[in-house]
Chain A
Amino acid sequence: EPEVTQTPSHQVTQMGQEVILRCVPISNHLYFYWYRQILGQKVEFLVSFYNNEISEKSEIFDDQFSVERPDGSNFTLKIRSTKLEDSAMYFCASSGYSNQPQHFGDGTRLSIL
């Protein structure tokens, strides 16, 4: 069964550094998403992306965050200047159409030191 893959599985970064989290969505999917889960808390929506532009973003997704689909297969989340509170598990998801079930990757655990 096709799946969403995320790399790396664990990223450790110094505070203030830039980090790029990578995702390969399911190949025929058109909608892409990022979510995060701070340890012990709910999974929170960050951003949705369709047709090469952001469809919706949450309050968490401030100017430090950006997303990109640099080629036909990858979908990336960049955090420009990381803060301690960015430490979390980041999940990528994709769906075929806007209101079809979203399939999630295994996540990238981001640790900011």
Chain B
Amino acid sequence: GEDVEQSLFLSVREGDSSVINCTYTDSSSTYLYWYKQEPGAGLQLLTYIFSNMDMKQDQRLTVLLNKKDKHLSLRIADTQTGDSAIYFCAESSLGSSASKIIFGSGTRLSIRP
């Protein structure tokens, strides 16, 4: 079945760039997402990319998609303490008439001073 894999932890120094990587298995994925979850909070849609794109930039966030390798990455430039959170990679493909999202386990990003 579909699966999304990502590393569990990432630690970066404040001001550096963070790169969170993800792989997925479903070749029929239509959207790939990054969600952010702060402690005790909900899932905030950070950014998403359609599967026929290979890059999307939105302010400090850059998403790269390598569809051949089924690899997605999220780069956060100039990482700040407020970026500390769990980042979920996710994908969706059209099901019967609605798309379910398959999530990775989440990468916990911690920022060191």
Contacts and interface: CB of A to CB of B under 8 A. Distances in A.
B98 A101 contact: no
By secondary structure, the A interface counts as strand
B52 interface: no
Given A101-B31, A104-B35, A56 B42 contact: no
Given A91-B43, A105-B42, A107-B42, A48 B95 contact: yes
Contact-size category for B = 20 to 34
A75 interface: no
Interface in A72-113: 91, 93, 95, 98-99, 101-107
Contacts, number: 70
Given A42-B103, A42-B105, A104-B35, A55 B97 contact: yes
B53 interface: no
Given A43-B43, A91-B43, A106-B42, A56 B96 contact: yes
Contact of B101 (A49, A55, A102, A106): A102
Interface residues of A, number: 26
Residue of A41, A45, A101, A107 with highest tally of chain B CB at under 10 A: A101
Contact of B97 (A41, A58, A98, A106): A98
B52 to A, nearest CB: 13
Contacts of B95: 48, 55-56
Given A42-B105, A43-B88, A103 B99 contact: no
Contact of B98 (A42, A56, A58): A56
Interface of B: 30-31, 33, 35, 41-45, 48, 88, 90, 92, 94-106
